[in-house]
Amino acid sequence: MAFYEHTFVGKQDLSDKEVDGLIARYSEILSKSGKILKTEKWGLLGLANKIKKNRKGIFVHFKLEGEGTIIKEIEKKLSIDNNVIRYLTVKYDKLDLKNEYFTSKK
């Protein structure tokens, strides 16, 4: 099994309920043949360039352990989902589960 970080960007006009629905749907798919180690909801962030007429996007980040076949399946589903504008999966030898990238530092 390999370690992966998977991030997708939802449309800026999605409600919290719709975003939670997306997270639940893709968490279920990822859990079938893998193990989700951490889920982070980064929230609404600005994009560097417009993507499909969106200036902002809702970012969701998964850290998981699984086979490569589950990544192909999730990317196939994300590519046809109209609420998702971009996604990215990166494979790692070891994951950092302690740090969160977009938390407020007080």
Rounded CA separation 23/3 (Å): 19
Query: Are residues 41 and 23 in contact, defined by beta-carbon separation less than 8 angstroms?
Result: yes
Model confidence at 3: pLDDT above 50: yes
Rounded CA separation 68/4 (Å): 9
Rounded CA separation 3/35 (Å): 10
Average pLDDT, integer, range 74-97: 88
* Three-class SS state of 75: helix
Q: Enter the pTM of the model.
A: 0.85
Joined together, the tokens standing for residue 94 give 């070891």
36 found inside a domain:
yes
The letter for the amino acid at 24 is A
Range of the domain at 11: 2-92
Model confidence at 105: pLDDT above 60: no
38 found inside a domain:
yes
Domain count of the fold of the chain = 1
100 found inside a domain:
no
